[in-house]
Amino acid sequence: MIISASMFISKPNLISKFEVSKSCISNSPIRRSGNYQPSIRDYNHIQSLKNHYSDEKFIRSRNELKMEVKIMLSDRNMKQLEQLEIIDNLQRLGLSYHFEDEISSILNNLSDKDSKRDHLYAKALEFRLLR
């Protein structure tokens, strides 16, 4: 079927016959109400809650654990597969931003080495981490 411009020009009154409601034209869309109940906690109550893990002993423990992981990542005696698995676990836990320098140096060393590993899992993990 061939559509020509004359088909649209010949019936200009069609558009003017339709009524458009003003709610469709207005800038603010009309939204359905979710009928949500107001929160039982007010703003002051939420602000008064205390984080029990911000004490000095937790901060010290966190820093010690970060140092242990940095030592694990910088260990040259560790197998490449173990390093890749640690990096994968850190990324999945959302903690890799703490160890960006160590991770980038490990991945750069992996891409520089032309190792001939037959281990399919290690190669797939390496490709996933390098992308």
Ordered per-residue pLDDT tens for the chain, 131 residues: 555 555 555 555 555 555 555 555 556 777 777 788 888 888 888 888 888 888 899 999 999 999 999 999 999 898 888 999 999 999 999 999 999 999 999 988 876 565 555 688 888 898 898 88
Run of H or E residues at 112: helix 100-112
Q: How far is it, in rounded angstroms, from Cα 76 to Cα 83?
A: 10
Residue 122 lies in a domain: yes
pTM of the model: 0.59
Query: Domain span at residue 69?
Result: 56-130
What CATH code is carried by the domain that includes residue 93? 1.50.10.130
Residue 93 lies in a domain: yes
Residue 17 lies in a domain: no
Phi-psi region of 39 (alpha: psi -120 to 50; beta: other; left: phi over 0): beta
How many domains are there within the chain? 1
